[in-house]
Structure 1
Amino acid sequence: MNIFNRYAPFIRDFIYQNNWESLRAIQVAAGDAVFNTDDNLLLSASTASGKTEAAFFPILTLFTEDMPKSVGAVYIGPLKALINDQFQRLNDLCREADIPVWHWHGDVAQSRKKRLLENPSGILQITPESLEALLLHKHAYIARLFGDLRFIVIDEVHSLMRGDRGGQTLCLIERLSKLAGVNPRRIGLSATIGDLESTGKFLSAGTGRKTAIPKIEAGGARWRLSMEHFYVLGAQAAEEREIQDAQPELDGKTDTAPVNADPAMGYIFEHTRGKKCLVFLNSREECEAATTTLRQYCEIRHEPDRFLIHHGNLSTSYRETAEAIMKDEEQFLTTVTTATLELGIDIGRLERAFQVDAPFTVSSFLQRMGRTGRRDLPPEMWFVMQEEQPEARAMLPVTVPWTLIQGIALIQLYREERWVEPPKLDRLPFSLLYHQTMCTLASCGEMSAAALASRVLSLSYFHRITQEDYRLLLRHLVSTEQIQKTEEGGLIIGLAGERQTSSFKFYAVFKENEEYTVRNESQELGTIVMPPPVGEKIALAGHVWIVEEVDHNRHLVYCSQVRGKVPAYFGQCPGDIHTRILERMREVLRENCSYPYLMKNAVARLDEARRTARHSGMTEEPLICLGGDMWCLFPWLGTYAFLALERFIKIKCGPALGLSALDSSRPYFLIFRMKASKEEFFRLLGEMEKQPLDPMELIYKGEVPLFEKYDEFLPQQLVRKGFAYGILGIDEMRARIRSWH
């Protein structure tokens, strides 16, 4: 029997009603795996390829044949917006079969949650943080809620693979399964996975099952790509002043941007007119600044405001209003956003995405471009690269347009090799270990040290943690009153630990800054970090506000709207760039070929950069003399291998080489003064690389490198060990030093 005929009648009706002429390959493959095996399943296919339906059509069919006696499937999504969107889609599908769909996160009403607790059934959609809260506060309900749980679907699984949040998700699934006495099958969904086999093993950890990974041949999808470069001030590289002429082959005739407009923002202002677009930026500060500028242009031109804003620090009402407007097919507005709209939420028929400067990963580029191209339109992305014009006397590395070269490298890696970043699963997750220890103790109550260790260290994500490391952690937590010993010798949450576990912020393992809620009269605008004094201005929600009152005890800021423009600040947002991208950047500077998506200014700027690279020799010789005793090293290494090399040179080689004034522009180049010659530099590096190296030697004296959210609660020895053995890219660094010989 073919897969379509195997589906439940209401699903076949749904397919007919939506005028699907045939099932997609991924839906056939998923149906075969779910119906005919007991394997876990990893579905990797492009955005809008029908992965959600591929997973849920066979699940719902099995439910109609044998209805679960509890929640039968849990859908874990990384964002509340994605869950809200999928909730509507699944509700429409399940209504016919009378299968309830529930969603559970911070914005869902308590009455709705109470109804689920009273009648556990159907499908539960939840974020990792809300699932943590559920296990923590509804511990006694877990067996009844999930006693017949059969499937766990993890959407956008790639977004959980590069840090503690993915580890937390895996721990949550294992803890829930043990408490409920079930072993549900796991289904991972993603459009951008770099290493399918590693991800499949990660997905199956602790289940005793294999992971089926159907090989879906991608069709020859057509992309519409362009990349343009702008100096913030001054003549452009191609000496083209007129924004409206910059992209004639894609856009036809348009009006001009405001006089004296920022060239990059003016370009975006014009080419979003009359269209539904997304503009992606890499930080919330940049997002706020761009929105304020674009709205000012509307005001200058006496046009209605046509720009929305969406990022993680905005209030729920602001975000949901923007999402609702974007779904309206009659509204041709542009939303300026960060990664919050990068993932799967369906925001209707988008015509075009803009990316300001290069994203940090190929995965992010693919996700962002995948926001467009639905409803039979080709995916379309316009890169807009900005740069301060280098001064005539600027030193070599500053004259290279790094973001332009990075953007080209990202595109070429995927075009040529279909390469996407592999998951990073080899860290020593001590911060998460603290978090899961506290969660387990808070939910289970008093436990012996042996029982706690057995419960926590049996979670598969902690396979690299030794018993000795865990004993060290527990002793430290007792000494700092995070946990407390009872008279009977058991362990419970201590006074200091209570302050942590009782906060709603404890559910999350990703790092957050101390935030203040900003209000204008009764309206909540969002949150900021480090509020300025009364009378100063802040930027939020694409507008400027003057601070009228700051309540530090309640973390509240009261303000009123004014005109103007000020920078926003939400805290640090560093990016992790893979070594493969840096290596491809070097090739971009070496090769002479042109790229069809580059526009006039970008072509001219790339030509300049290649001439600079050729004359300096920076792509052939890693160490370049900038004059006198000033040197520049181009290692072409990713962020964490670069960090290791930086420390290796400074700590192991610096004194012998007479290094001083070391200045890092991670991960592109290192500048330093050196008394030794180039030959001595490479000879010493080679000799030191051959000697045994304990990664702990690359931590500075007295340094405690707090990297993850809960590192501050760990013993310093574990923080240093986690950084040295889990963060620093020692192996890549050593391989690069050997290649120089």
Structure 2
Amino acid sequence: MVGRRCEVWHGDIAPSVKNRIKADPPDVLLTTPESLEVMLISKDPAGREILKGARIVVIDEIHAFAGDDRGWHLLAVMERIGRLAGRELQRIGLSATVGNPIELLTWLAGHCDGTRQVVQPDAGANLAETRIELDYVATLQNAALVISRLHRGEKRLVFCDSRGRVEELGNELRDLGVTVFLSHSSLSAEERKTSEQAFAEAQDCVIVSTSTLELGIDVGDLDRVIQIDAPHSVASFLQRLGRTGRRSGTTRNCLFLATSENALLKAAALLELWASGFVEPIRPPARPLHLFAQQLMALSLQEGGIGVNDWFSWLGRLPAFANESREVLDEVVRFLLNEQILFSDGARLSFGDAGQALYGRKHFLELVSVFTSDPVFKVLHGRKELGTVDQVTFLRHRDEEPVTLSMGGRSWVVTALDWNRREAFVVPAAGRGKSQWLGGGMGMSYRLSRAVHGVLTKPEVSPRWSNRARESMDSLRAEYAFLHAEQDVVFINSHSNETRWFTFAGGVINTALADAVRACGVNEVSSSDYLVKITEATGVRSLVDRIVRHLLRRRRWFCRG
């Protein structure tokens, strides 16, 4: 920023740098919500003194916060900073992929009294100025072959939607002689930084990434974005597409390489939604009472104890808590007191013995890390941290066989495990390794599943589809020729007592429908994004009648969206 001094503050910044910042605060501080929390609860008051000078908060990529607990946590931290500063902070949220900007503005503003405004400039490049292609390649190995042969001499950013697939594709590309770099959240910060810097400086190369490179990280000028299969949302696709077309004379572009028929359907449906102008709305989680408990504990640390009713002046106006009755919030306080997480002498709240035991280690690091994560092992080559893998990597292997990991696109054999410290020591290895991470499998949304239904039931052929994609789509349309464009289809097999209800309603709604069926006394029920399958030995038609009556009593199951 011209004329303004800017500093960066987060967990990887050296203490000496932070001490310099404390001694001479900058005009602009780039940081994270978790780092702000650490500054607020630290025994060193210098961090709080810096925050007392805050006037404006700019939240970049606000959509990445607002849809989960981190968003409410950020707003609660902002409430506490505003109280320390003695002023209402101006709040600015930035995003290129928001489907409901008015609602998000209301969420961000909260109780603030100032003027509220959505600034939404022209989106820029239109559909005609954007080059999108969808190809069907059937396997990840074929995808690697296509990537190795296409756009040689250019910088290509490839997105996969799992860390395991990033490692696997990286190995395939390296075997094909491609200069390849990897980036995902389980690589150490040093490893990611090295890969991203090397990619930024190179020309004829590929970097394979999960969503870690979707938001804001500068990897230089890109020529191509390639998507393996499909992201989970239009918003995510727009972020990835936006990494290209930034140089004068270039266009935004993305090549989809579908490695399965289901991925082909999902990619085609997502592109239909994108072409229609749809972007998913952001919905903050309802009733984040667990965050209210965390904020009470953090506030008691920050202030060295607070009056039994003083918490309301710090947090009570935040809509997430203000919309709850005082009785509900008081019940949370009583729970913390009963469990001795907090202690009260009748006048003040402070940390109790159980709270100290649960959260007091490493300067209350567990209290700052309010979002749960999978149990992982740190992978070390000598003293160098390579990244982390899930502990299931070691639980599922045979004792007589060595564990060979894939980390950063290279293979490493495990020489020792320290279960107490959760550390795995490795040395380079030949051959292929495999690492495992437990990801939250994300089902399709209702809108995306309905778009898949539309792709299958409509005759149109998109000009974005390759010949291979068209041939595969023809085959899929023939396979699903029984679908009706306007109605659900239910198959009833009286001989096997099996019912297949093709809802194309998405994973969440179909799971809810399956639960409703189980409430009718049926145990053999399964669901997917596209259908609910029911097996009932007492007669399918009578079962259907029972299910319909049950669902009509609970009409909310039909409130799709």
What TM-score, normalized to structure 1?
A: 0.70
Q: How far has the Cα of 1:208 moved from its partner? A: 1.2
Compared CA separation, residues 464 and 412, structure 1 to 2 (3 A)? same
Compared CA separation, residues 119 and 468, structure 1 to 2 (3 A)? same
Q: Is the 8 A contact 1:618 1:634 kept in 2?
A: no
Distance 2:106 2:478 in 1: 46
Q: What are the within-5 Å matches in structure 2 for residues 261-272 of structure 1?
A: 262-271=141-150
Q: How far has the Cα of 1:503 moved from its partner? A: 4.5
Q: How far has the Cα of 1:336 moved from its partner? A: 0.7
Q: Quick one: which amino acid aligns to residue 281 of structure 2?
A: P
Q: How far has the Cα of 1:629 moved from its partner? A: 1.4
**Aligned partner (choices 289, 293, 299) of residue 440 of structure 1:** 299
**Aligned partner (choices 262, 265, 273) of residue 413 of structure 1:** 273
Q: Quick one: which amino acid aligns to residue 367 of structure 1?
A: Q
| Aligned position for 2:223 | 351
| Aligned position for 2:208 | 336
In structure 2, the gaps of 5 or more residues are none
Distance 2:427 2:505 in 1: 47
| Aligned position for 2:191 | 318
Q: Quick one: which amino acid aligns to residue 423 of structure 2?
A: L
| Aligned position for 1:223 | 130
| Aligned position for 2:471 | 604
Distance 2:476 2:214 in 1: 31
| Aligned position for 1:475 | 334
Q: Is the 8 A contact 1:204 1:210 kept in 2?
A: no
Q: Is the 8 A contact 2:234 2:274 kept in 1?
A: yes
Q: Is the 8 A contact 2:156 2:225 kept in 1?
A: yes
Compared CA separation, residues 564 and 618, structure 1 to 2 (3 A)? farther
Q: Secondary structure of 1:450's match?
A: coil
Q: How far has the Cα of 1:590 moved from its partner? A: 1.0
Asked if 1:519 is matched to 2:343, the reply is no
| Aligned position for 2:116 | 211
| Aligned position for 2:460 | 593
Compared CA separation, residues 629 and 352, structure 1 to 2 (3 A)? same
Q: Deviations over 1:323-352 (max 9, x none)?
A: 212222x43211111010000223221111
Distance 1:541 1:503 in 2: 32
| Aligned position for 1:668 | 530
Q: Deviations over 1:374-408 (max 9, x none)?
A: 11311111111112xxxxxxxxxxxxx33222211
Asked if 1:168 is matched to 2:73, the reply is yes
Q: Secondary structure of 1:358's match?
A: coil
Q: Quick one: which amino acid aligns to residue 289 of structure 2?
A: F
Q: Is the 8 A contact 1:613 1:619 kept in 2?
A: no
Q: Quick one: which amino acid aligns to residue 459 of structure 1?
A: L
What is the root-mean-square deviation of aligned Cα atoms in Å? 2.5
Compared CA separation, residues 148 and 460, structure 1 to 2 (3 A)? same
Compared CA separation, residues 419 and 689, structure 1 to 2 (3 A)? same
Q: Secondary structure of 1:336's match?
A: strand
Q: Secondary structure of 2:259's match?
A: strand
Q: Quick one: which amino acid aligns to residue 433 of structure 1?
A: F
Q: Deviations over 1:126-155 (max 9, x none)?
A: 011111111121673466323442211110
| Aligned position for 1:584 | 451
Aligned length: 548
Distance 1:456 1:180 in 2: 15
**Aligned partner (choices 644, 651, 671) of residue 512 of structure 2:** 644
Q: Deviations over 1:418-445 (max 9, x none)?
A: 1111011251213322322221222222
| Aligned position for 1:529 | 390
Asked if 1:155 is matched to 2:28, the reply is no
Distance 1:620 1:143 in 2: 59
| Aligned position for 1:361 | 233
Q: Which moved more, 1:287-296 or 1:170-179?
A: 287-296
Q: Is the 8 A contact 1:194 1:421 kept in 2?
A: yes
**Aligned partner (choices 327, 336, 352) of residue 200 of structure 2:** 327
**Aligned partner (choices 300, 309, 330) of residue 450 of structure 1:** 309
Distance 2:58 2:503 in 1: 41
Identity %: 27
| Aligned position for 1:625 | 492
Q: How far has the Cα of 1:489 moved from its partner? A: 5.5
**Aligned partner (choices 169, 177, 182) of residue 290 of structure 1:** 169
Q: What are the within-5 Å matches in structure 2 for residues 297-312 of structure 1?
A: 297-298=176-177, 306-312=179-185
| Aligned position for 1:76 | none
| Aligned position for 2:322 | 463
Distance 1:294 1:338 in 2: 16
Q: Is the 8 A contact 1:139 1:444 kept in 2?
A: no
Q: Which moved more, 1:265-274 or 1:283-292?
A: 265-274
| Aligned position for 1:492 | 350
Q: Quick one: which amino acid aligns to residue 372 of structure 1?
A: T
Q: Is the 8 A contact 1:635 1:736 kept in 2?
A: no
**Aligned partner (choices 92, 106, 109) of residue 14 of structure 2:** 109
Compared CA separation, residues 576 and 156, structure 1 to 2 (3 A)? farther
Distance 2:560 2:315 in 1: 38
Distance 1:202 1:576 in 2: 26
Q: Quick one: which amino acid aligns to residue 263 of structure 1?
A: N
Q: How far has the Cα of 1:615 moved from its partner? A: 3.2
Compared CA separation, residues 117 and 405, structure 1 to 2 (3 A)? same
| Aligned position for 1:565 | 432
Q: How far has the Cα of 1:218 moved from its partner? A: 2.5
Q: Is the 8 A contact 2:510 2:527 kept in 1?
A: no
In structure 1, the gaps of 5 or more residues are 1-92, 233-260, 299-304, 388-400, 694-729
Q: Deviations over 1:234-278 (max 9, x none)?
A: xxxxxxxxxxxxxxxxxxxxxxxxxxx922222223225322111
Q: Deviations over 1:157-178 (max 9, x none)?
A: 1111210011111111111111
Compared CA separation, residues 559 and 272, structure 1 to 2 (3 A)? farther
Distance 2:203 2:108 in 1: 40
Q: Secondary structure of 1:548's match?
A: strand
Compared CA separation, residues 664 and 503, structure 1 to 2 (3 A)? farther
Distance 1:112 1:142 in 2: 13
Q: Quick one: which amino acid aligns to residue 179 of structure 2?
A: R
Asked if 1:179 is matched to 2:84, the reply is yes
Q: How far has the Cα of 1:104 moved from its partner? A: 0.2
Q: Is the 8 A contact 1:160 1:166 kept in 2?
A: yes
Distance 2:43 2:383 in 1: 33
Q: Secondary structure of 1:190's match?
A: coil
Q: Quick one: which amino acid aligns to residue 581 of structure 1?
A: L
Distance 1:505 1:307 in 2: 36
Q: How far has the Cα of 1:577 moved from its partner? A: 3.5
Q: Is the 8 A contact 1:577 1:639 kept in 2?
A: yes
Q: How far has the Cα of 1:566 moved from its partner? A: 3.4
Q: Is the 8 A contact 1:517 1:557 kept in 2?
A: yes
Distance 2:476 2:273 in 1: 20
Distance 1:404 1:549 in 2: 42
Compared CA separation, residues 493 and 411, structure 1 to 2 (3 A)? same
Distance 2:433 2:484 in 1: 41
Q: Which moved more, 1:287-296 or 1:305-314?
A: 287-296
**Aligned partner (choices 416, 433, 447) of residue 549 of structure 1:** 416
Q: What are the within-5 Å matches in structure 2 for residues 225-240 of structure 1?
A: 225-232=132-139
Q: Secondary structure of 1:558's match?
A: strand
Q: How far has the Cα of 1:114 moved from its partner? A: 1.2
Distance 1:288 1:503 in 2: 34
